[in-house]
């Protein structure tokens, strides 16, 4: 009997398909009882099947992206499905070519097998101290058909539709560079694009724009669904008015499989493997070249912003320009490259930024101006940059001296940048019972003389500054400055330990001043404030979280704050006559204990300030010293431990 030629051809095609290369993506949120056992399974199974890629295992589930032969990937799926923990897992398997080149393969993690046990599958917040929401509280899953139907009905609504139907918004949970090449678009449905650099920035955006979500039906989407799990749970954790959150199950990838012509999705779906992006049969290009603005959506060149390392779109023609350095739109919004306006073309810097002339002083050698803020792969790890705010009647130089020991012990992990406060204070001397030269301009004694000696010469003293001043404070005008610089004012009595309570004015000027510092010297990873500087730092964090109509989104961001011997100005901690909610900025509070020796800021004042910060993301160090920042063990070890979480 002659063999069936059709069956033979079919078998040959099947063999060819099984030998074809493919990519497998899946995640599963579930309680993992034995992490080591699951690690051993993945190590054995993936190596035996010659799979390459990334496997992340956490106590709450797994997140897997691997590549290999389709036949091997199918065997892997069968082995995973045999474990009851993975019941109902959505396995996304796609046939594709191998990586374009070694660079793409390396960046996407497809040159080796990486299996790691991690704390979180995806990092919802850059705050390492903030607890993630419960994944069981995630938004309701919608299939691609259900998601499409909801958008279709919303797009067909007219003005007579019910209020409930009109309260529908789309929320894109992806990063800026992803949304630039593809996103959902539905007529008459608002799409919220946070424009974030990384997923961990999303909670801050949600906090700042919660009024756009409250009381609405929120439809969320991302690449494959995993980011929506945590982000939707975070929105729902905000309480009343945030219950109706839905997410596209399987993400954009499953939607495009169901609607190959694109449906309501326009452009391409960015993916985190060597395929780089996948699209529908719709040939429309949403992205544009960073430099010339021509339509372009291909990230295969893997070009990045010289400051933040975010992917940027640069067309083939513009890539031919030698010596090009690229600045993404987010960094340009943060005034990166502004000093090169005359020699720049769109987003491309024609030369390396020059060092900005500055009045700040650093705790260590200044970084080379030729290095970007976040250094490229292969460069030595960058240090945390911390903006330091001095106390009342101090200056940058004196505060640098007082923190020399701290700077020395942190020199491997942090660069301290010091600035003078904007309010210049007059020289003050107090009567003394003994003759003193006062040439070092230290704090004068508090006792009085019936007949006072003349004040010390001002040429031996540096100017002193403040962040907050008394409401009746009169600053020097430019015309008065030269004459008044050399004038002294005799104190009207001993040092008043409660004087800080009367220093309640000057915040707006100080805020504007720090905005300028941030634009010229930033960005900074965090803030350190001492005494009155700590009060100013706390007010900045409050403004950053509530915006207080004083800050534009993204204008000035600090990832953490260190408050030393601090106190709070309650009038600055209120918004529209309502006290703020807990400040969620990661914070370290250092102050004297009840039995400490700090005679200037009482323990209760510093403790009250610390109470404004969320317990879930704050650390407190109480010491037995005076009005200082202690640097001996165990205090310095606790400081290093706090900072180490942000490296």
d(CA 568, CA 507): 12
582-608 in b/e form (b: 16+ CB < 10 A) is ebbbbbbbbbbeeebebebbbbebbbe
Checking if the pLDDT of 429 tops 70, the result is no
Predicted pLDDT of residue 463 = 84
- What does the radius of gyration of the chain's CA atoms come to, in whole angstroms? 30
Hey, what's the torsion of the CAs at 634, 639, 640, 646, to 10 degrees?
A: 150
Q: Are 398 and 462 in contact (CB under 8 A)?
A: yes
Residue whose pair of structure tokens reads 């005359």 in the numeric block: 342
CATH dotted code for 21-117: 3.30.70.100
Candidate list 46, 108, 222, 328, residue with the active-site label: 222
For the ranges 245-254, 412-421, 546-555, 558-567, the lowest mean pLDDT is seen at 546-555
User: Could you report the per-residue pLDDT of 119-131, keeping only the tens digit for each?
Assistant: 888 877 666 566 6
Predicted pLDDT of residue 570 = 64
More confident: 82 or 121: 82
Checking if the pLDDT of 359 tops 50, the result is no
d(CA 449, CA 491): 12
Hey, what's the torsion of the CAs at 434, 439, 442, 443, to 10 degrees?
A: 40
User: Could you report the per-residue pLDDT of 360-382, keeping only the tens digit for each?
Assistant: 333 333 333 222 333 333 344 56
Checking if the pLDDT of 196 tops 60, the result is yes
First to last CA, the chain: 72
**Could you state, in order of their start, the residue ranges of all structural domains in the chain?**
21-117, 135-156+164-279, 384-422+503-644
What percent of the chain shows pLDDT beyond 90?
36
Mean pLDDT for 380-393 is 85
Local confidence band at 80 (pLDDT 50, 70, 90 cut-offs):
very high
Model confidence, pTM: 0.57
Local confidence band at 538 (pLDDT 50, 70, 90 cut-offs):
very high
Predicted pLDDT of residue 388 = 96
Predicted pLDDT of residue 64 = 94
Q: What is the mean pLDDT of the chain?
A: 77
User: Could you report the per-residue pLDDT of 217-241, keeping only the tens digit for each?
Assistant: 999 999 988 999 989 999 998 888 9
CATH dotted code for 384-422+503-644: 3.40.50.1820
Q: Which CATH architecture has domain 135-156+164-279?
A: 3-Layer(aba) Sandwich (3.40)
d(CA 452, CA 435): 9
Q: Is 222 an annotated catalytic residue?
A: yes
d(CA 168, CA 154): 7
More confident: 435 or 357: 435
User: Could you report the per-residue pLDDT of 493-516, keeping only the tens digit for each?
Assistant: 555 556 667 777 888 899 989 988
More confident: 325 or 577: 325
């Amino acid at each position: 009997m002659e063999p069936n030629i059709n069956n033979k051809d079919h078998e040959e095609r099947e063999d060819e398909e099984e030998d074809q290369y493919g990519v497998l993506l899946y995640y599963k949120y579930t309680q993992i009882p034995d992490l080591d056992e699951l690690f051993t399974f993945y190590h054995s199974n993936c190596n035996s099947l010659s799979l390459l890629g990334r496997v992340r295992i956490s106590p709450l589930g797994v997140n897997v992206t691997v590549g290999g032969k389709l036949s091997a990937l199918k065997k892997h799926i069968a082995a995973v499905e045999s474990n009851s923990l993975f019941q109902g897992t959505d396995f996304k398997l796609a046939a594709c070519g191998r990586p374009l080149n070694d660079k793409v393969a390396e960046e996407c993690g497809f040159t080796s097998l990486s299996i790691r046990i991690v704390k979180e599958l995806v990092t919802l917040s850059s705050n390492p101290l903030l607890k993630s929401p419960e994944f069981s509280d995630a938004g309701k899953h919608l299939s691609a058909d259900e998601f499409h139907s909801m958008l279709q009905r919303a797009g067909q609504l007219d003005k007579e539709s019910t209020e409930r139907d009109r309260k529908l918004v789309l929320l894109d949970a992806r990063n800026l560079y992803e949304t630039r090449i593809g996103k959902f678009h539905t007529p008459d449905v608002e799409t919220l694009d946070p424009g974030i650099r990384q997923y961990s920035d999303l909670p801050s955006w949600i906090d700042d724009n919660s009024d756009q979500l409250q009381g609405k039906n929120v439809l969320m989407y991302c690449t494959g669904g995993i980011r929506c799990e945590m982000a939707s749970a975070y929105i729902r954790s905000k309480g009343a008015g945030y219950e109706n959150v839905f997410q596209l199950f399987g993400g954009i990838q499953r939607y495009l499989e169901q609607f190959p012509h694109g449906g309501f999705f326009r452009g391409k779906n960015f993916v985190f493997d060597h395929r780089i992006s996948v699209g529908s049969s719709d040939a429309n290009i949403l992205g544009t070249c960073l430099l010339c603005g021509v339509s372009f959506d291909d990230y295969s060149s893997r070009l990045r912003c010289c400051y933040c390392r975010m992917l940027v779109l640069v067309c083939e023609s513009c890539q031919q320009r030698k010596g090009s350095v690229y600045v993404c739109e987010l960094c340009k919004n943060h005034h990166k490259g502004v000093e090169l306006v005359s020699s720049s073309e769109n987003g491309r810097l024609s030369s390396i930024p020059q060092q900005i002339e500055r009045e700040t002083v650093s705790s260590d050698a200044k970084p080379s101006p030729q290095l970007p803020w976040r250094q490229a792969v292969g460069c030595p790890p960058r240090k945390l940059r911390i903006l330091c705010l001095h106390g009342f009647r101090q200056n940058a130089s004196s505060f640098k001296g007082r923190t020399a020991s701290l700077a020395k012990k942190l020199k491997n992990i942090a660069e301290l940048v010091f600035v003078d406060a904007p309010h210049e204070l007059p020289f003050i001397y107090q009567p003394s019972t003994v003759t003193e030269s006062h040439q070092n301009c230290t704090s004068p004694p508090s006792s009085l003389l019936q007949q006072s000696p003349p004040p010390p010469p001002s040429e031996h003293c540096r100017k002193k500054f403040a962040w907050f001043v008394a409401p009746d404070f009169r600053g020097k005008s430019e015309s008065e400055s030269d004459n008044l610089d050399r004038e002294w004012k005799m104190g009207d009595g001993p040092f008043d330990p409660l004087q800080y309570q009367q220093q309640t004015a000057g915040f707006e000027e100080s805020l504007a001043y720090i905005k300028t510092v941030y634009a010229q010297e930033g960005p900074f990873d965090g803030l350190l404030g001492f005494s009155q500087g700590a009060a100013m730092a706390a007010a900045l964090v409050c403004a950053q979280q509530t915006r207080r109509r004083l800050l534009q989104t993204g204008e000035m961001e600090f990832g953490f704050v260190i408050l030393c011997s601090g106190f709070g100005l309650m009038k600055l901690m209120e918004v529209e006559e309502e006290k703020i909610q807990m400040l969620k900025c990661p914070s370290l509070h250092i102050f004297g204990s009840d039995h400490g020796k700090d005679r200037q800021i009482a323990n209760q004042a510093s403790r009250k300030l610390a109470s404004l910060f969320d317990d879930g993301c704050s650390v407190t160090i109480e010491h037995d010293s005076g009005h200082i920042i202690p640097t001996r063990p165990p205090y310095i070890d606790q400081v290093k431990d706090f900072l180490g979480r942000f490296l």
